[in-house]
Amino acid sequence: MPELPEVEVARRALEENCVGKRIVKCTVDEDSKVIDGVSPSDLQSALVGKTIVSALRKGKNLWLCLDSPPFPTFQFGMAGAIYIKGIETAKYKRSAVNITDEDWPSKYSKVFAQLDDGLEFSFTDKRRFAKVRLVHDPESVPPISELGPDALNEPMKVDEFAKALNQKKTPIKALLLDQSFISGIGNWIADEVLYQARIHPMEKVSDLSKENYETLLKCIKEVIEKAIAVGADSSQYPDEWIVRYRDQKPGKAFVEGRKIEFITAGGRTTAFVPELQKLSSSSKAASSKSRKSKSDADDEKEAQENSKSDKDKDSSRVAKRKSKKPEDDDATQKKSSSKKPAIKESVAVMKKKARK
C-alpha cells in the first residue's frame, strides 16, 4: 500500500510539473467503485478549463487545488499511483503498471488529464481500492478531516508526543498505524521505524520511556525523509533497513545477519528482529494475559455453541414427539400387534415340524 513517501513523491512531481497550467482535456473512467460520490461526466466538467494552483497532501491523501472549487482528491488505497508522461514518479512496485507510448494512458487509468502545454498525467489503480472524490474543502470533510498530524509536515514535539502516548495502553505498532493519531505511517514504515528504534512492535505504549519517545520521533523523521530522497524506490533504501528483506519467506529473512521473525500486530503482518527488539516483562505479561483471555473467550464461545446445539437437538426431538398424531400411535400399535401372532404361529409350526 502506498504510504506517505510514495504519495509525497507523487505530490512533488505534480507540483513541479503541473502547477500554473490549465487542464484542457480530461477523461474519467466509468468505475463507480473508485470514482466516489460524483459521476464521471461531472468530474470531467469540474476539471476542464481549470488551472492547477498547487498539489497538497495530508497523510496518504493528495488533492489538487484549482483556481476555483471544487477540487479533486485522491486516496491511494492499495495500489493508487500518479503517472506523468515522460517524467519519472514514485516507484512503488505494487502500484506499478507497464506503460509505453502505445499504451498511454494505461488501461488502469481512472483519471486522465492533458494540460495546455501538452503535458499529460494519469491517476491509475489496478486493484480498485483507491477513491477519487470531488469536494469544495478537502480538509473539512472525511477522510482528511479525521486525520491526525501529518508525520512529515506536522511533527510532534517530544513533550506533546509523550503526553499523547502516556494516555495509551495499546501496543506501539497498532498506535503508529492509527491515522487519527498520526497520519501517513503505514505497515512498512511502522516496521522500519520500530526496527531502527529497537522497540518491539507489541510493546505497550505506556511502558515506553521518554528516551523511547525521542528515538521514535527521530526515526519517523529519518525513515520518511530518506525514503522520499530516493523517490520512494524501495530498491534504493539502505541495506540495513528491514524493509529490504520483509518480503522474504519466514526462516529465510535476515537483516544485518540477524533473523527476522513475523507476527501479527495491529492487524497486519509485522517484521521484527527479536535479538534487537525485546519485549519488556510488563508488556510480555500483558500480551500473555491477552492471549489467555482470548483463549478463555474462545473456550466459552465453543461451550455456548455446543450447549446451544444440544438444546436444539432436544427441542427437535420434543417437537417431533408433539407433532405425532394419535392415529399414528394407534397405527404403530396395530402394526406391532399384528406382527406378534405371525411370530407365534411361525414358532408353533416349527415345533410341529420338529415333532414329525
* Active centre residues (catalytic): 2-3, 60
- Interhelix angle 158-166/210-229, rounded to 10 degrees, is 120
Residues 213 and 162: beta-carbon distance below 8 Å: yes
Q: Is 342 exposed, middle or buried (0-12, 13-18, 19+ CB in 10 A)?
A: exposed
- Bridge-partner residues for 87, per DSSP? 84
DSSP assignment of 187-209 equals HHHHHHHHHHHT--TT-BGGG--
Residues 228 and 9: beta-carbon distance below 8 Å: yes
The helix/strand/coil state of 167 is: coil
Instruction: Give residue 355's identity as a one-letter amino acid code.
Output: R
CA distances from 8 to 55, 190, 229, 233, 317 (A): 10, 17, 11, 12, 66
Overall residue count recorded for the chain in this entry = 356
What's the order of all strands across the beta sheet hosting 131-135?
52-58, 61-66, 71-75, 131-135
Place of cell 519519472: 88
CA distances from 335 to 320, 331, 332, 340 (A): 20, 6, 5, 9
What lies within 8 Å, CB to CB, of 44 at 6+ separation is 26, 27, 28
Local structure of residue 154 (DSSP, 8 states): S
Cell numbers linked to 33: 467503485
CA–chain centroid gap for 113, Å, is: 29
- Bridge-partner residues for 133, per DSSP? 73
